[in-house]
Amino acid sequence: MLLRHTPKEVTERSALTINPAKTCQPVGAMYAALGIHGCLPHSHGSQGCYAYHRSALTRHFKEPVIAATSAFTEGSSVFGGQANLLQAIDNIFTVYNPDIIAVHTTCLSETIGDDIPQIISKAKAEGKVPDGKYVIHANTPSYVGSHVTGFSTMTRAMVDYFAESSGHKTKTLNLIPGYSEPSDMEEIRRIASLMGIQTIMFPDTSRVLNGPLTGKYRMFPDGGVTIPELRQAGSSMGTVALGALASSAAAKALDAKCKVPCEILDLPMGLHGTDMYVDILRRIAGVNVPDSLTLERGQLVDVISDMHQYFYGKKVALAGDPDQLLAIAKFLVSIDMIPVYMVTGTPAGKKFEKALREVVKDAPCEVKIQMPGDMFLLHQWIKQSPVDLLIGNSYLKYIAKDEDIPLVRHGFPIFDRIGHSYFPTMGYKGGLRFLEKILDALLDRKDRDATDINMELVM
């Protein structure tokens, strides 16, 4: 047994987190910053932080993940990290020449209380920021929220630093894709462009973290939202923010700063989630939905109906980020699966928990939700009453193996499979892929469990 010390009986814990279903803010900020074209994320902390974040993102994407650090020593921890950051800014522009440095803080620099805007001003005053180059920042203390909060805060910083209203609205729509994969970002944009809508998406990690192998390494790949685009986002006709936790801060900031109205939706996962997204796009832009998109929708409905018998009544345990949990739970309920256990380490608030409970209110059995909760607790619930399927990140495979339950990998991090960077789980096509993954897991298990007598060729 891999998790041999996990007891079946749940006991109250108030201080110890075991097998967390979240990680810390800075990694989310680093991920978001990689979605700006020509950006070098910078971790203002000791060098372990950026080493860990770069490693985690590299393992997840199997792509270069570049970032810099202030490399705090004991001295800088006592006297503050200003000298380190000033030196870093100078070195980065001299040696690596990015268009922009996106600084995020850490628990270390936040506890010390370094004032990043003041340090950036000083760097500018000292001529360390070349003309036409930028340094932005986000405060991302690791002891508040989670990686989702960090993503959200850095995305908001893009608005705070760049968005400006030109006085007249363009026909462009802003898309904030949430803490999603590069493939999902591509899909979200593809749907809008099928509808003939011009978009600015930020952040945008497609073609940054799913780039080609050409034999030539480029520290700053083609992808990412550009600074002119971020500026123009303040003149767009509206913003569609996907995933309330990851995206609403930026959308609301843009509304407050530049009077760009916003709609905050669930992540467009599954039939209804994507329907909502497409329908909002249609109404905001005043366009018709093209037949090609309606066809994609029809194909998803077709597969749901073809394979409904295998979904119906199956119990699922989920661990992941709040926006993903909500969207996946809705998708699962829509195809008559039952998300019976759900945990996220991210403190998403009472309102969110209520929304999640609402999704499963008609479930035919007890549904357990814990937030913040951890995978240790999820495992204990499973030991008490098992499920048919697990959905979550790679760490769930330890539970999957011990309890012999099929697993569909989704979320962050996925260290042991590929696909998430290239094939979306959002939109209708993404919905199809997600269903395919669920079916593969369930039906492979059915084949494995079949006896010589009841093995089925056709399913």
Partner 1 sequence: MDALEDIVLEAEGLTPEKVKLEMLAKYPTKVARKRARQIVINKVGETGDVPEIQANVRTTPGLIGQRGCCYAGCKGVVLGPSRDIVNITHGPIGCGFYSWLTRRNQTDADASPDGHNFMTYCFSTDMQEKEIIFGGEKKLKQAIQEAYDLLDPKPKAIGVFATCPVGLIGDDVHSVCKEMKEKLGINVFGFSCEGYKGVSQSAGHHIANNGIFTHVVGTDDTIREGKFKINLLGEYNIGGDAFELERIFEKCGLTLISTFSGNSTISGFANCHTADLNLIMCHRSINYVADMLEKKYGLPWIKINFISASATAKSLRKIAAYFGDPELTARVEAVIAEEMPAVEKARDEIYPRTQGKRVMLFVGGSRAHHYQDLFRELGMTTLSAGYEFGHRDDYEGRNVLPSIQVDADSRNIQELEVHPDPEKYNPRKSPDEMERLTREGLPFNKYDGMMPEMPDDTMIIDDLSQYETDKLIELYKPDIFCAGIKEKYIVQKHGIPMKQLHSYDYGGPYAGFKGAVNFYKDIDRMVNSKIWSYMKAPWQKNPELMATYAWE
Q: Does 418 bind partner 1 (CB under 8 A)?
A: no
Nearer to partner 1, 91 or 166 (CB): 91
Ranges within 128-157 binding partner 1 (CB under 8 A): 141-144, 146
Stretch of residues binding partner 1 (CB under 8 A), selected from 76-84, 129-137, 157-165, 249-257: 76-84
Q: Considering only residues 30, 34, 36, 65, which one is a binding residue for partner 1 as defined by CB under 8 A?
A: 65
Which range, of 4-12, 278-286, 438-446, 450-458, touches partner 1 by CB under 8 A? 4-12
Q: Which is nearer to partner 1, 59 or 231 (CB)?
A: 59
Distance CA 178, CA 243 (A): 5
Work out which of 99, 353, 398, 443 binds partner 1, going by CB under 8 A: 398
Residue from 34, 36, 39, 70 that binds partner 1 (CB under 8 A)? 70
Q: CB count, 10 Å around CB of 70?
A: 30
Q: Are strands 262-265 and 338-343 parallel, antiparallel or unpaired?
A: unpaired
Query: Which CB sits closer to partner 1, 214 or 451?
Result: 214
CA gyration radius, the chain = 23
Shortest distance in whole angstroms from residue 13 CB to partner 1: 5
Token couple for 420: 């998430």
Q: How far is CA 360 from CA 46, 174, 263, 317, 368, in A?
A: 43, 32, 24, 13, 10
CA distance 296 to 294: 5
Minimum Å gap between C-beta 417 and partner 1 is 13
99 binds partner 1 (CB under 8 A): no
Interaction residues for partner 1, span 320-349 (CB under 8 A)? 345
User: Which of 67, 135, 250, 260 is close enough to bind partner 1 by CB under 8 A?
Assistant: 67
By rule CB under 8 A, what string of x and - marks binding of each residue 41-60 to partner 1?
-x--xxxxx-xxxxxx-xx-
Q: How far is CA 331 from CA 10, 84, 92, 303, 406, in A?
A: 29, 48, 45, 14, 18
User: Given strand 100-105, what is the order of strands in its sheet?
Assistant: 68-69, 39-44, 100-105, 134-138
Q: Shortest approach of partner 1 to residue 297 CB, angstroms? A: 34
Under rule CB under 8 A, residue 384 binds partner 1: no
Among 29, 30, 36, 89, contact with partner 1 (rule: CB under 8 A): 89
- Say which residue the tokens 């059915």 belong to: 446
Site for partner 1 in 279-308 (CB under 8 A): none
Give the residue with the Cβ less far from partner 1, 334 or 394: 394
167 binding partner 1? (CB under 8 A): no
Give the relative orientation of helices 25-33 and 47-61 as an angle to the nearest 10 degrees.
60
CB 116 within 8 A of CB 137: yes
CA distance 345 to 147: 10
The stretches of 62-146 forming alpha helices (DSSP H) are 74-79, 82-95, 107-112, 116-125
Give the residue ranges of DSSP H helices in 335-450. 350-359, 375-384, 397-403, 427-449
Q: Which of 74, 131, 291, 452 binds partner 1 (CB under 8 A)?
A: 74
CA 284 centroid distance within chain: 25
3-class state of residue 241 by DSSP: strand
Q: Cβ closer to partner 1: 26 or 178?
A: 26
- Tally the residues of the chain: 459
- Among 108, 260, 269, 360, the residue binding partner 1 under the rule CB under 8 A is 108
Q: How far is the CB of 189 from partner 1 (least distance, A)?
A: 24
Q: Contact at 8 Å (CB) between 336 and 310?
A: no
Q: CA–CA separation, 287 vs 281, rounded Å?
A: 8
Of 124 and 282, nearer to partner 1 (C-beta) is 124
What minimum distance in Å lies between the beta carbon of 419 and partner 1?
16
3-state secondary structure of 298: helix
Residues 207-246 that bind partner 1 (CB under 8 A): 211, 213-219
Pick the closer one to partner 1 by CB: 5 or 168.
5
Instruction: Considering only the stretches 91-99, 115-123, 315-323, 438-446, report the one whose residues sit in contact with partner 1 under the rule CB under 8 A.
Output: 91-99
* Contact by Cβ (8 Å): 251, 264: yes
User: Minimum CB separation from partner 1 for residue 123, in Å?
Assistant: 11
Q: Please state, in angstroms and rounded to a whole number, the distance separating the CA atoms of residues 168 and 9.
A: 61
- The phi-psi region of residue 404 (left if phi > 0; otherwise alpha if psi is between -120 and 50; otherwise beta) is left
Residue 129: what residue type? V
> At its nearest, how many Å lie between partner 1 and the CB of residue 105?
12
**Residue 94 binding partner 1, by CB under 8 A:** yes
| Binding to partner 1, residues 22-41 (CB under 8 A) | 22-27
378 interacts with partner 1 by CB under 8 A: no
Of 344, 335, 441, 341, residue with least CA distance to 387: 341
Q: How many residues at the interface with partner 1, by CB under 8 A?
A: 85
Nearer to partner 1, 77 or 165 (CB): 77
Exactly one of 29, 35, 69, 369 binds partner 1 (CB under 8 A); that residue is 69
